Structure 1
Amino acid sequence: MADIGEEVKNKQVLFRDYVSGFPKESDFIITTATIRLKLPQASNGVLVKTLFLSCDPFMRMLMKNQSSAFSYSPGSLLFGYGVAKVLESAHSDFNEGDLVWGMLKWEEYSVVEDPGKLVKIHHTDVPLSYYTGILGMPGITAYFGFHEVCSPKKGEYVFVSAASGAVGQLVGQLAKLMGCHVVGSAGSREKIELLKNKFGFDEVLNYKEEHDLDAALKRCFPEGIDIYFENVGGKTLDSVLLNMRPHGRIAVCGMISQYNLDQLEGVHNLMRLVPQRIRMEGFIANDYFHLNANFLEAMLSYIREGKITYVEDTVHGLESGPAALIGLFSGRNIGKQIVSISTE
């Protein structure tokens, strides 16, 4: 690895311009800059080497031309969750050699000027890449979305859409640990086998082969659905609403079917919320970041005891990142999509 103070090449991914419809590889620019491995004078930040980057569906929402300080700007560096190693620190909370996860720029080396938002990694007996997924933002989303938003009870009937993804695969396993009956939906036979044989789902629907999702849900849930973990939206949500039991709960994590549409689809069965007394609640992982220590204690125990398994889909090199990211929206990935930058 390069020495502190040395000037090195720094591969980067830039966001070309606002995106309409499905993103393409040409919407991103792979470039190489140079960086001196030294913090600027008067900096209170940290200099890091990127190890892993996370491809997450929410990143598509940042590609739209909208008035949000959190959106990508044309010509700017892409950013998202990742894992990095601290090379130099001017911040009292971090030291050289620390491993961290949090929001990072899509480049090989970065200066993080606000390291207070980074989370120090203390447990390294599990793969570091897990902090992009099961032990990072997707894991927090699954754990608190299911346990806090859904308020599950043993024996309840749970439906998870996009069930083989980073969040869905965890929600299904958490539900099984609670003693629930779990059905997931996925879009390929390979994913269906994964959900049944590795993650222990009771049943799985191939939404691409079901011409009548309402009828398919009635087949899988003859007594109705108690909990729906929503990752898809659109027609899936509409069909689920027809099959919810009284006092059912819907945790709205995301609606990936809508992210690439210029005109969002309408949902027609919302009136079902009233007679069935259904609670539908949206949430984001940031709502629960302050409970990260509790989350880690529980999830690390599950991993170490073999009660939860996790599947990653890894590509190597920053130049492979754009294709991996846009592959999320065609279901190309099997498990959590990550980009491995370096293992140093």
Structure 2
Amino acid sequence: MSTASSRLQKISQTLQPSTTSSTMSTPAKTKQWILTNKPTDLPQLSGPSATFTLENNDLPPLKDGQVLVKIRYISNDPAQRGWITKGIDPARLYVPPVSQGGVMRARAIAEVLESKAEKYKKGDRVLGSTGWAEYAVLDAQGLQAIQQIEGVSETHFLGAFGITGITAYYGIKIIARAGPGDTIVVSGAAGATGSMVVQIAKKMLGCKRVVGIAGTDKKCKWVEILGADVCLNYKKDSFKKDLIEATDGFVEVYFDNVGGEILDLMLTRMKKHGRVAACGAITDYNNNKPRGLTNWFEVVTNRIEIKGFIVLDFVDQGKAPEAIGEMVKALKEGKIVVGDENETVVDTKFEDVPKTWMMLFEGGNTGKLVTKLV
């Protein structure tokens, strides 16, 4: 079991298993997507330099303490792009990169088909690092049970009540230290993390004003329904003007999911001693020659604090259950909304798993992007 998997299993402290029946025969092989060519820019899904290759491989025999699972839902996360970049120094990553020739890494919700572990039985639903595969043999200690919440799909434990939600919760509350007197700006506000940041900031932390940034007018309207006072479409020609007007008087907090030009512009919209929570930089994930920041001197002159963070830092400290518990409580109290609108679940043949993942970089999802294997 990898270090990352062992750290993530701590989330299971608040979860209880759900079960479902299964009549499936035991498989001997599994389809897998293998990382063949590490990309420097946009991953290629076909041709001689295709990033991934589909293979059909033998499953290992089931050992004591292990379970055989069928993958039902796969999590799609921008961070996966960083794990496969060509030439990246492993010492600069927070988890080991995916090895060339290895199964593409991903977390998923799976159904237990066979078990040699006391903790799980046939039919249980579990969450773990399965990779892009149809079936997998996994160590039970690296898995988490799925909690059942009335009216909430289990897929939200890949998003709002999973790593995504925990990232949003601690990123805005602890890293950015947002509070009732603050005005905050959230980029990628219609995405999995950003949409939760908007709700947590406005409805749980009571921030004075929340400004979202998203890529279409439709997404912006949804972000405003979630609680943003205003949401701006960054693809409009008027975006820079709109952002300056929306941040008149400047802002205390910027939650950054995108990096690039929007981060550069936001450095000019921060108050003195403003705080930037650096969560992601999806603008440059597929750009092998990213443009540098031109407004960096703003950080010096206005004493702006920029702090990067990784959710595993909080999982390591055993704090994941606290975040999940607070968000579930907020849901039951009607403070936040977690429903179909918070995720984009795409019915996908296994042969099309990479195509669904690529929607992350095309703006094709609202909320969490989930692959449902059909």
Check if 1:227 corresponds to 2:248: no
Equivalent in the alignment of 1:206: 233
Letter in 1 for 2:135: Y
Structure 1 residue 122 corresponds to structure 2 residue 143: no
- CA contact under 8 A between 1:25 and 1:326: conserved in structure 2? no
Q: In structure 2, do the counterparts of structure 1 residues 67 and 241 end up closer, same or farther at CA, with 3 Å as the change threshold?
A: closer
| Equivalent residues of 1:24, 1:326 under 8 A apart | no
Task: Please list the CA deviations of residues 295-344 of structure 1 after superposition, one character each: whole Å capped at 9, or x if unmatched.
Answer: 121111222333222411111233332112111112122221100126xx
Q: Distance in 2 between matches of 1:131 and 1:320?
A: 23
Helix, strand or coil at the partner of 1:239:
helix
**How many equivalent pairs are there?**
335
Match among 281, 294, 300 for residue 255 of structure 1: 281
The residue type paired with residue 270 of structure 1 is W
Q: Once the two structures are superposed, what CA deviation does each residue of 1:153-203 show, in whole Å capped at 9, x if it has no partner?
A: 10311100011000000001111112221111111122112112x312111
Contact 2:233–2:239 (8 Å) recurs in 1: no
Sort the Cα spacing of 1:301 and 1:109 in 2 relative to 1 into closer, same or farther, 3 A.
Answer: same
1:268 to 274, 278, 294: 294
Amino acid at match of 2:223: L
**How far apart, CA to CA, are the structure 2 residues paired with 1:212 and 1:164?**
16
Distance 1:15 1:189 in 2: 36
Q: Distance in 2 between matches of 1:278 and 1:101?
A: 38
Does the CA contact (< 8 Å) of 1:184 and 1:204 recur in 2?
Answer: yes
Are 2:133 and 1:98 aligned?
no
Q: CA RMSD in A?
A: 2.2
Extract unaligned runs of 5+ from structure 1.
none
Shift of 1:152: 1.3
| Counterpart contact for 2:106–2:131, Cα < 8 Å | yes
Q: Which residue of 2 aligns with 1:46?
A: 67
Unpaired runs of 5+ residues, structure 2, are 1-21
- Equivalent position SS for 1:146: helix
What residue is the counterpart of 1:30 in the other structure?
Answer: 54
Cα displacement (A) at 1:146? 0.8
> Residue 124 of structure 1: CA displacement?
4.4
Q: Which moved more, 1:182-191 or 1:267-276?
A: 267-276
Counterpart CA distance in 2 for 1:90 and 1:76 is: 25
What CA distance in whole angstroms lies between the structure 2 residues aligned with 1:31 and 1:94? 29
Task: Measure the CA separation in 1 of the matches of 2:142 and 2:274.
Answer: 35
Tell me which moved more, 82-91 or 17-26: 82-91
Q: Does 1:16 align with 2:36?
A: yes
- Which residue matches 2:344? 313
3-state SS of paired residue (2:106): strand
Deviation at 1:9, TM superposition (A): 5.3
Q: Output the CA distance in 2 between the equivalents of 1:91 and 1:35.
A: 18
- Aligned residue in 1 for 2:212: 184
Structure 2 counterpart of 1:154, from 169, 172, 180: 180
Q: CA deviation at 1:71?
A: 1.8
Aligned partner of 1:64: which letter? T
- Percent of paired sites with the same residue: 33
Offset of residue 56 of structure 1: 0.5
Distance 1:255 1:163, change over 3 A: same
Tell me how far apart the structure 1 counterparts of residues 27 and 353 of structure 2 sit (CA, whole Å).
24
Contact 1:192–1:205 (CA<8 Å) still a contact in 2? yes
Tell me what 2:370 maps to. 338
Q: Which deviations, in whole Å up to 9, do the C-alpha atoms of 1:8-67 show, x marking residues without a partner?
A: 55332222311121123223233444548x514xx5332222121111001111121234
SS class of match (2:130):
strand
AA of the residue aligned to 1:256: I
C-alpha distance in 2, partners of 1:309/1:107?
A: 31
Distance 2:215 2:27 in 1: 46
Q: Is the 8 A contact 1:10 1:34 kept in 2?
A: yes
SS at match of 1:274: helix
Is the 1:7–1:34 Cα contact (8 Å) retained in structure 2?
no
Alignment of 1:59 with 2:80, yes or no, is yes
Match for 1:62: what amino acid? W
TM-score (normalised: structure 1): 0.90
2-structure distance, mates of 1:16, 1:2 = 34
The 3-state SS of whatever aligns with 2:319 is helix
Q: Which amino acid aligns with 1:195?
A: V
Provide the rounded CA distance (Å) in 1 between the counterparts of 2:330 and 2:176. 20
2:158 is matched with: 132
SS in 2 for 1:315: strand
